[in-house]
Amino acid sequence: MTQSPQLTAVQDENQITANPWQALRAFTDARIALGRSGVSQPTSAQLAFQLAHAQARDAVHLALDFPALQAELQAAGFGASLRLHSAAADRHQYLQRPDLGRRLDEASRDTLTPHRQEGGYDLALVLADGLSALALKQNALPFLQALHDKLSGETWKLAPLCLVEQGRVAVADEVAQRLGARAVVILVGERPGLSSPDSLGLYFTQGPKVGLTDERRNCISNVRPAGMSYEEAAYRLHYLLSEGRRRHCSGVALKDETASQGQEALGSGNFLLAPPTP
């Protein structure tokens, strides 16, 4: 008589040999200390891996509903945003030609021209689907609200919010240069991992222009409820923005010193940095 898959899975779980490092799983989402069933991986771990892999693939190909995001942002008080498009015509080309995702198409350049102002802007905020539209859909608005709380009351002249379809990190440089912005931050969906299909990345550049390389940017990664909180990410980005404007630099020339200056304000700690017990 053939056993059902469900019964086999239950038997497999009942026969798992525990891993002595299992207690470490409380500190990470990494697939460690899974145990074993005989000489094989437990069925539950294998199924969880397959699910995570499918979610990561789906996140890469999921299309973002830009009109819905624009309406959501406007309803939250961020004003009318500009919808732009990279030089990558569609998702297929975007994945095969990273260079096209770093530049705007001609129509988007024309869209930006009327919004350039004499004297320029202090900061441009750009949102791009990147490699995970899910990350932008779930995390963009709550993060922007947290950042707005940090910037409110300060003298920041903000450019119109820009949304870029099929965009990569460097496309923000062209957006900011055409708007005349002295700094730019792009919120972009990061490459999905097997435990993080919704990770949002923040990239800050002072003095943006076409052709800059990654050493000119500061990155804050894994912004999402299961990763770095919106409040902590906004706190760190606000520090970089303020220091970048004061020092006229970003990237390798600007170190994120928030961990040493404001760890208590973040409400979180790192046990590796804690002083030794007397």
pLDDT tens-digit map of 195-206: 778 899 999 999
d(CA 111, CA 160): 12
d(CA 166, CA 101): 6
pLDDT of 222 over the 50 cut:
yes
Q: How confident is the model at residue 229 (pLDDT cuts 50, 70, 90)?
A: very high
Looking at residues 207-232, what average pLDDT do you find?
A: 96
pLDDT at 63: 83
3-state secondary structure of 156: coil
Tens of pLDDT, residue by residue over 117-161, are 888 999 999 999 999 999 999 999 999 999 999 999 899 999 999
Q: Please report the DSSP string for 63-92 in residue order.
A: PP-HHHHHHHHHHTT--PPEEEEBS--SHH
Q: Please report the DSSP string for 17-45 in residue order.
A: EPPTTGGGGGG--S-----EETTB--HHH
d(CA 239, CA 251): 13
Residue 132 in contact with residue 59, Cβ under 8 Å? yes
List the single range of 64-73, 192-201, 209-218, 267-276 with lowest mean pLDDT: 267-276
Token duo for residue 133: 């539209």
pLDDT at 8: 47
Residue 200 in contact with residue 191, Cβ under 8 Å? no
List the single range of 7-16, 179-188, 235-244, 262-271 with lowest mean pLDDT: 262-271
pLDDT at 145: 98
Tens of pLDDT, residue by residue over 266-276, are 454 554 455 55
3-state secondary structure of 50: helix
Of 142 and 4, the structure prediction assigns the larger pLDDT to 142
Mean pLDDT of all residues belonging to the chain: 86
pLDDT at 12: 54
